[in-house]
Amino acid sequence: MVRLVDIASAVGVHPSTVSRVLNGEVGHSLRPETVERILAEARARGYRPNALARALRHHRTGALTFVVPMLRNPIWVRLQRGALLRAAERGYVVMIMEEPMEDPKPPGAYSYLVTESRADGLLLATSLRGGRDAGGANPDEALSAVPHVFVNRRGPDAGNDVVMDEAAAVRLFLDHVAGLGHRSVLLIDGRPEVDTVYRRAAATRRHCAALGLTAVISHADATEAGGFAAIRRLLATGPLPTAIGVGSIEQVFGVLAALRDARVAVPGAVSLVSLDDDESLAYLDVPVTSVRMPLAELGAAAVDALIARIDGTGGSDVLIGEPMSLISRGSVGPPPAEPGT
Protein backbone atom coordinates (compact mmCIF):
# COMPACT_ATOMS: atom_id res chain seq x y z
CA MET A 1 0.00 0.00 0.00
CA VAL A 2 1.28 3.43 -0.91
CA ARG A 3 0.72 6.19 1.62
CA LEU A 4 1.05 9.89 1.47
CA VAL A 5 4.18 9.78 3.62
CA ASP A 6 5.78 7.31 1.24
CA ILE A 7 5.61 9.60 -1.69
CA ALA A 8 6.53 12.55 0.55
CA SER A 9 9.76 10.99 1.69
CA ALA A 10 10.53 9.74 -1.80
CA VAL A 11 10.29 13.26 -3.15
CA GLY A 12 11.86 14.77 -0.04
CA VAL A 13 9.04 17.03 1.06
CA HIS A 14 6.64 17.14 3.96
CA PRO A 15 3.44 15.07 3.78
CA SER A 16 1.33 18.16 4.06
CA THR A 17 2.85 19.47 0.87
CA VAL A 18 1.94 16.30 -0.94
CA SER A 19 -1.58 16.54 0.41
CA ARG A 20 -1.91 20.07 -0.88
CA VAL A 21 -0.62 19.21 -4.31
CA LEU A 22 -2.77 16.13 -4.69
CA ASN A 23 -5.85 18.00 -3.63
CA GLY A 24 -5.15 20.79 -6.09
CA GLU A 25 -5.03 23.50 -3.44
CA VAL A 26 -5.84 26.79 -5.06
CA GLY A 27 -4.95 29.59 -2.62
CA HIS A 28 -1.59 28.01 -1.84
CA SER A 29 0.95 28.81 -4.49
CA LEU A 30 3.20 25.80 -5.01
CA ARG A 31 6.45 25.81 -6.91
CA PRO A 32 5.72 24.22 -10.28
CA GLU A 33 8.77 22.02 -10.07
CA THR A 34 7.74 20.55 -6.69
CA VAL A 35 4.25 20.00 -7.98
CA GLU A 36 5.63 18.18 -10.98
CA ARG A 37 7.88 15.91 -8.94
CA ILE A 38 5.09 15.01 -6.56
CA LEU A 39 2.59 14.31 -9.30
CA ALA A 40 5.10 12.17 -11.15
CA GLU A 41 5.97 10.13 -8.08
CA ALA A 42 2.34 9.65 -7.14
CA ARG A 43 1.47 8.45 -10.60
CA ALA A 44 4.52 6.20 -10.80
CA ARG A 45 3.65 4.44 -7.56
CA GLY A 46 -0.05 4.34 -8.28
CA TYR A 47 -0.94 6.29 -5.18
CA ARG A 48 -4.56 6.13 -4.04
CA PRO A 49 -5.78 8.17 -1.08
CA ASN A 50 -7.14 6.15 1.80
CA ALA A 51 -10.85 6.88 1.84
CA LEU A 52 -11.12 5.82 5.47
CA ALA A 53 -8.56 8.26 6.80
CA ARG A 54 -10.02 11.00 4.71
CA ALA A 55 -13.54 10.26 5.83
CA LEU A 56 -12.44 10.21 9.44
CA ARG A 57 -11.07 13.72 9.11
CA HIS A 58 -13.87 15.12 7.03
CA HIS A 59 -16.77 13.53 8.83
CA ARG A 60 -17.96 12.41 5.44
CA THR A 61 -17.93 8.84 4.22
CA GLY A 62 -18.99 9.42 0.62
CA ALA A 63 -21.46 6.55 0.89
CA LEU A 64 -25.23 6.33 0.87
CA THR A 65 -27.33 3.40 2.01
CA PHE A 66 -30.36 2.28 0.01
CA VAL A 67 -32.82 0.18 1.98
CA VAL A 68 -35.15 -1.81 -0.28
CA PRO A 69 -37.77 -4.45 0.44
CA MET A 70 -36.99 -7.96 -0.74
CA LEU A 71 -39.32 -8.04 -3.71
CA ARG A 72 -39.04 -9.64 -7.12
CA ASN A 73 -40.74 -6.67 -8.72
CA PRO A 74 -38.54 -5.28 -11.50
CA ILE A 75 -39.34 -1.72 -10.50
CA TRP A 76 -36.62 -2.02 -7.87
CA VAL A 77 -34.06 -2.86 -10.48
CA ARG A 78 -34.81 0.26 -12.48
CA LEU A 79 -35.02 2.39 -9.38
CA GLN A 80 -31.75 1.08 -8.04
CA ARG A 81 -30.09 1.65 -11.36
CA GLY A 82 -31.18 5.29 -11.54
CA ALA A 83 -29.94 5.83 -8.01
CA LEU A 84 -26.58 4.12 -8.54
CA LEU A 85 -25.90 6.06 -11.69
CA ARG A 86 -26.66 9.43 -10.18
CA ALA A 87 -24.76 8.62 -7.00
CA ALA A 88 -21.70 7.71 -9.05
CA GLU A 89 -21.97 10.98 -10.94
CA ARG A 90 -22.03 12.84 -7.67
CA GLY A 91 -19.08 10.96 -6.23
CA TYR A 92 -20.92 8.67 -3.86
CA VAL A 93 -20.94 4.92 -3.58
CA VAL A 94 -24.07 3.14 -2.46
CA MET A 95 -24.61 0.25 -0.14
CA ILE A 96 -27.73 -1.84 -0.53
CA MET A 97 -29.59 -3.30 2.40
CA GLU A 98 -32.52 -5.55 1.72
CA GLU A 99 -35.21 -5.54 4.30
CA PRO A 100 -36.58 -9.00 5.11
CA MET A 101 -40.26 -9.23 4.20
CA GLU A 102 -41.13 -11.37 7.20
CA ASP A 103 -40.07 -8.92 9.84
CA PRO A 104 -40.08 -5.41 8.41
CA LYS A 105 -38.26 -2.95 10.64
CA PRO A 106 -39.22 0.66 11.27
CA PRO A 107 -37.16 3.03 9.14
CA GLY A 108 -35.33 4.26 12.21
CA ALA A 109 -33.80 0.83 12.59
CA TYR A 110 -31.35 1.77 9.88
CA SER A 111 -30.16 5.07 11.33
CA TYR A 112 -27.29 3.29 13.03
CA LEU A 113 -25.61 3.12 9.65
CA VAL A 114 -25.16 6.86 9.72
CA THR A 115 -24.45 7.01 13.44
CA GLU A 116 -21.65 4.52 12.96
CA SER A 117 -20.31 6.54 10.06
CA ARG A 118 -20.88 3.84 7.52
CA ALA A 119 -22.92 6.17 5.34
CA ASP A 120 -23.79 9.83 5.15
CA GLY A 121 -27.49 9.32 4.56
CA LEU A 122 -30.32 6.89 3.97
CA LEU A 123 -32.52 6.21 0.96
CA LEU A 124 -35.50 4.49 2.50
CA ALA A 125 -37.87 2.28 0.62
CA THR A 126 -38.85 0.16 3.58
CA SER A 127 -41.89 -1.94 3.01
CA LEU A 128 -44.58 -0.28 5.07
CA ARG A 129 -45.67 3.28 4.77
CA GLY A 130 -44.55 4.39 8.22
CA GLY A 131 -46.21 6.63 10.74
CA ARG A 132 -47.87 9.65 9.27
CA ASP A 133 -50.95 8.24 7.59
CA ALA A 134 -50.60 4.64 8.59
CA GLY A 135 -51.38 5.38 12.19
CA GLY A 136 -48.91 2.69 13.17
CA ALA A 137 -45.45 3.80 14.25
CA ASN A 138 -44.84 6.75 16.51
CA PRO A 139 -42.65 9.54 15.16
CA ASP A 140 -39.26 8.02 14.81
CA GLU A 141 -36.66 9.94 16.79
CA ALA A 142 -33.59 7.98 15.77
CA LEU A 143 -34.39 8.81 12.19
CA SER A 144 -34.86 12.54 12.51
CA ALA A 145 -31.25 12.94 13.64
CA VAL A 146 -30.01 11.50 10.39
CA PRO A 147 -30.14 12.68 6.75
CA HIS A 148 -32.70 10.57 4.95
CA VAL A 149 -35.26 10.53 2.20
CA PHE A 150 -38.18 8.19 1.61
CA VAL A 151 -38.20 6.80 -1.90
CA ASN A 152 -41.42 5.82 -3.65
CA ARG A 153 -43.37 6.12 -0.41
CA ARG A 154 -44.18 8.83 2.07
CA GLY A 155 -42.49 8.57 5.43
CA PRO A 156 -43.72 9.61 8.87
CA ASP A 157 -42.01 13.00 8.69
CA ALA A 158 -43.15 15.39 5.98
CA GLY A 159 -40.66 17.10 3.68
CA ASN A 160 -38.48 14.06 3.02
CA ASP A 161 -40.49 12.22 0.42
CA VAL A 162 -39.54 11.56 -3.19
CA VAL A 163 -42.39 9.88 -5.01
CA MET A 164 -43.85 9.48 -8.48
CA ASP A 165 -47.10 10.99 -9.59
CA GLU A 166 -49.23 7.86 -9.19
CA ALA A 167 -52.39 9.91 -9.63
CA ALA A 168 -51.22 11.00 -13.06
CA ALA A 169 -50.58 7.37 -14.00
CA VAL A 170 -54.05 6.43 -12.87
CA ARG A 171 -55.51 9.30 -14.88
CA LEU A 172 -53.65 8.17 -17.96
CA PHE A 173 -55.29 4.77 -17.56
CA LEU A 174 -58.77 6.06 -16.73
CA ASP A 175 -58.90 8.72 -19.42
CA HIS A 176 -57.79 6.15 -21.96
CA VAL A 177 -60.52 3.63 -21.18
CA ALA A 178 -63.19 6.25 -20.46
CA GLY A 179 -62.46 7.75 -23.86
CA LEU A 180 -63.31 4.40 -25.42
CA GLY A 181 -66.63 4.27 -23.61
CA HIS A 182 -65.89 2.17 -20.55
CA ARG A 183 -68.11 3.02 -17.56
CA SER A 184 -66.96 0.53 -14.95
CA VAL A 185 -63.42 0.15 -13.68
CA LEU A 186 -61.55 -2.37 -11.57
CA LEU A 187 -58.19 -1.73 -9.93
CA ILE A 188 -56.25 -4.78 -8.83
CA ASP A 189 -53.30 -3.80 -6.70
CA GLY A 190 -51.19 -4.80 -3.74
CA ARG A 191 -51.78 -4.45 -0.02
CA PRO A 192 -53.43 -1.15 0.93
CA GLU A 193 -50.75 -0.37 3.54
CA VAL A 194 -48.22 0.07 0.76
CA ASP A 195 -48.09 3.77 0.04
CA THR A 196 -48.05 3.55 -3.75
CA VAL A 197 -51.04 1.23 -3.65
CA TYR A 198 -52.85 3.57 -1.29
CA ARG A 199 -52.28 6.54 -3.58
CA ARG A 200 -53.33 4.67 -6.71
CA ALA A 201 -56.50 3.47 -5.01
CA ALA A 202 -57.34 6.95 -3.77
CA ALA A 203 -56.68 8.46 -7.19
CA THR A 204 -58.82 5.80 -8.83
CA ARG A 205 -61.78 6.54 -6.56
CA ARG A 206 -61.41 10.26 -6.97
CA HIS A 207 -60.97 10.32 -10.73
CA CYS A 208 -63.66 7.72 -11.37
CA ALA A 209 -66.06 9.86 -9.38
CA ALA A 210 -65.07 12.89 -11.43
CA LEU A 211 -65.62 10.99 -14.66
CA GLY A 212 -68.81 9.35 -13.50
CA LEU A 213 -67.39 5.83 -13.62
CA THR A 214 -68.00 3.10 -11.09
CA ALA A 215 -64.86 1.89 -9.35
CA VAL A 216 -64.02 -1.37 -7.64
CA ILE A 217 -60.71 -1.77 -5.82
CA SER A 218 -59.35 -5.21 -5.14
CA HIS A 219 -56.29 -5.72 -2.96
CA ALA A 220 -54.22 -8.87 -3.31
CA ASP A 221 -50.66 -10.08 -2.90
CA ALA A 222 -48.32 -8.46 -5.38
CA THR A 223 -47.60 -11.81 -7.02
CA GLU A 224 -48.84 -13.85 -9.95
CA ALA A 225 -50.89 -15.93 -7.53
CA GLY A 226 -52.35 -12.76 -6.01
CA GLY A 227 -53.54 -11.44 -9.37
CA PHE A 228 -54.93 -14.83 -10.28
CA ALA A 229 -56.85 -15.13 -7.03
CA ALA A 230 -58.26 -11.62 -7.30
CA ILE A 231 -59.90 -12.33 -10.65
CA ARG A 232 -61.19 -15.69 -9.44
CA ARG A 233 -62.75 -14.07 -6.42
CA LEU A 234 -64.43 -11.35 -8.44
CA LEU A 235 -65.73 -13.69 -11.11
CA ALA A 236 -67.43 -15.71 -8.40
CA THR A 237 -69.45 -12.71 -7.27
CA GLY A 238 -70.68 -11.45 -10.63
CA PRO A 239 -69.63 -9.88 -13.91
CA LEU A 240 -66.34 -7.99 -14.06
CA PRO A 241 -66.05 -4.29 -14.68
CA THR A 242 -65.01 -3.80 -18.32
CA ALA A 243 -61.75 -1.98 -17.68
CA ILE A 244 -59.05 -3.38 -15.42
CA GLY A 245 -55.93 -1.66 -14.13
CA VAL A 246 -53.25 -3.76 -12.47
CA GLY A 247 -50.67 -2.43 -10.05
CA SER A 248 -47.73 -4.76 -10.60
CA ILE A 249 -46.28 -6.87 -13.37
CA GLU A 250 -46.44 -10.04 -11.36
CA GLN A 251 -50.16 -9.54 -10.85
CA VAL A 252 -50.62 -8.92 -14.58
CA PHE A 253 -49.42 -12.44 -15.35
CA GLY A 254 -51.85 -13.90 -12.84
CA VAL A 255 -54.74 -11.77 -14.05
CA LEU A 256 -54.16 -12.79 -17.66
CA ALA A 257 -54.04 -16.44 -16.70
CA ALA A 258 -57.25 -16.25 -14.69
CA LEU A 259 -59.06 -14.46 -17.51
CA ARG A 260 -57.80 -17.04 -20.00
CA ASP A 261 -58.99 -19.88 -17.77
CA ALA A 262 -62.41 -18.27 -17.46
CA ARG A 263 -62.60 -17.63 -21.18
CA VAL A 264 -62.94 -13.89 -20.73
CA ALA A 265 -61.61 -12.34 -23.93
CA VAL A 266 -59.02 -9.53 -23.76
CA PRO A 267 -59.71 -6.94 -25.08
CA GLY A 268 -63.05 -8.28 -26.32
CA ALA A 269 -64.84 -8.67 -23.00
CA VAL A 270 -62.53 -6.71 -20.70
CA SER A 271 -59.70 -4.27 -21.33
CA LEU A 272 -56.46 -4.42 -19.37
CA VAL A 273 -53.81 -1.87 -18.48
CA SER A 274 -50.66 -2.55 -16.47
CA LEU A 275 -49.61 0.36 -14.24
CA ASP A 276 -46.02 -0.77 -14.40
CA ASP A 277 -44.31 -1.39 -17.70
CA ASP A 278 -42.01 -4.18 -18.71
CA GLU A 279 -40.58 -5.17 -22.06
CA SER A 280 -41.97 -8.68 -21.73
CA LEU A 281 -45.55 -7.38 -21.84
CA ALA A 282 -45.12 -6.67 -25.53
CA TYR A 283 -44.53 -10.37 -26.26
CA LEU A 284 -47.47 -12.01 -24.50
CA ASP A 285 -50.28 -13.66 -26.45
CA VAL A 286 -52.23 -10.51 -25.68
CA PRO A 287 -49.69 -7.68 -25.74
CA VAL A 288 -50.48 -5.60 -22.69
CA THR A 289 -50.99 -1.85 -22.76
CA SER A 290 -49.16 -0.20 -19.89
CA VAL A 291 -48.20 3.02 -18.22
CA ARG A 292 -44.46 3.51 -18.14
CA MET A 293 -43.34 5.15 -14.92
CA PRO A 294 -40.22 7.31 -14.45
CA LEU A 295 -38.42 4.91 -12.16
CA ALA A 296 -34.83 5.72 -13.04
CA GLU A 297 -35.66 9.41 -12.68
CA LEU A 298 -37.15 8.68 -9.29
CA GLY A 299 -33.95 6.98 -8.16
CA ALA A 300 -31.81 9.82 -9.43
CA ALA A 301 -34.01 12.48 -7.86
CA ALA A 302 -33.92 10.64 -4.55
CA VAL A 303 -30.13 10.69 -4.58
CA ASP A 304 -30.10 14.40 -5.35
CA ALA A 305 -32.58 15.08 -2.58
CA LEU A 306 -30.59 13.04 -0.09
CA ILE A 307 -27.33 14.77 -0.94
CA ALA A 308 -29.07 18.09 -0.44
CA ARG A 309 -30.12 16.94 3.04
CA ILE A 310 -26.57 15.85 3.79
CA ASP A 311 -25.17 19.17 2.63
CA GLY A 312 -27.78 20.96 4.68
CA THR A 313 -29.12 22.52 1.51
CA GLY A 314 -32.80 22.50 2.45
CA GLY A 315 -35.21 20.46 0.41
CA SER A 316 -38.88 19.64 0.39
CA ASP A 317 -41.00 16.80 -0.94
CA VAL A 318 -40.40 15.88 -4.57
CA LEU A 319 -42.99 14.62 -7.04
CA ILE A 320 -41.66 13.00 -10.21
CA GLY A 321 -44.12 13.15 -13.09
CA GLU A 322 -41.93 12.99 -16.16
CA PRO A 323 -41.40 11.10 -18.35
CA MET A 324 -44.60 9.11 -18.03
CA SER A 325 -46.58 7.67 -20.89
CA LEU A 326 -49.22 5.15 -21.82
CA ILE A 327 -47.88 2.52 -24.17
CA SER A 328 -50.70 1.23 -26.30
CA ARG A 329 -50.25 -2.42 -27.15
CA GLY A 330 -53.55 -4.12 -27.75
CA SER A 331 -55.09 -5.21 -24.48
CA VAL A 332 -57.50 -2.28 -24.55
CA GLY A 333 -60.53 -1.91 -26.79
CA PRO A 334 -64.02 -0.51 -26.60
CA PRO A 335 -66.30 -2.12 -24.01
CA PRO A 336 -68.56 -4.95 -25.17
CA ALA A 337 -72.24 -4.26 -25.79
CA GLU A 338 -73.16 -6.26 -22.68
CA PRO A 339 -70.99 -6.10 -19.55
CA GLY A 340 -68.14 -8.64 -19.58
CA THR A 341 -68.94 -12.11 -18.26
The residues binding DNA (CB under 7 A) are 1, 3-5, 12-17, 19-20, 22-23, 28-31, 34-35, 49-50, 53-54, 56-59
> Rounded to whole angstroms, how far apart are CA atoms 52 and 58?
10
290 binds its own copies (CB under 8 A): no
Q: Quote helix, strand, coil % in the chain, to nearest 5.
A: 45, 15, 40
Strand bridging mode 243-246 / 93-99: unpaired
Give the burial class of 236: count Cβ atoms within 10 A of its Cβ; 0-12 exposed, 13-18 middle, 19 or more buried: exposed
- Of 125 and 170, which CB lies nearer to its own copies in the complex structure? 125
Question: Minimum distance between the CB of residue 60 and DNA, rounded to whole angstroms?
Answer: 10
Q: Taking CB within 5 to 8 Å according to partner kind, which of DNA, its own copies, none is near residue 9?
A: none
- Pick one of 38, 185, 256, 266: the residue that binds its own copies (CB under 8 A): 256
Peptide bond into 336 cis (omega under 30): no
Region from 166-174, 276-284, 288-296, 324-332 binding its own copies, contact rule CB under 8 A: 276-284
> Rounded to whole angstroms, how far apart are CA atoms 186 and 146?
41
Nearest to 158 by CA among 142, 144, 137: 144
Q: What is the CA radius of gyration of the chain?
A: 26
3-state SS assignment for residue 179: helix
- Pick one of 19, 39, 69, 117: the residue that binds its own copies (CB under 8 A): 117
Question: Minimum distance between the CB of residue 22 and DNA, rounded to whole angstroms?
Answer: 6
Applying the rule CB under 8 A, the residues between 198 and 227 that interact with its own copies are 223-224
Question: Minimum distance between the CB of residue 55 and its own copies, rounded to whole angstroms?
Answer: 5
CB distance 113 to 122 below 8 Å: yes
284 binds its own copies (CB under 8 A): yes
1 binds its own copies (CB under 8 A): yes
Q: How many residues bind its own copies (CB under 8 A)?
A: 50
289 binds its own copies (CB under 8 A): no
Total number of residues shown for the chain: 341
Q: How many CB atoms lie within 10 A of CB 74?
A: 17
Contact positions toward its own copies, by CB under 8 A? 1, 46, 48-53, 55-56, 61, 63, 70, 72, 74, 76-77, 80-81, 84-85, 88, 93-98, 112-113, 115-118, 223-224, 228, 249-250, 253-254, 256-257, 260, 279-280, 282-285
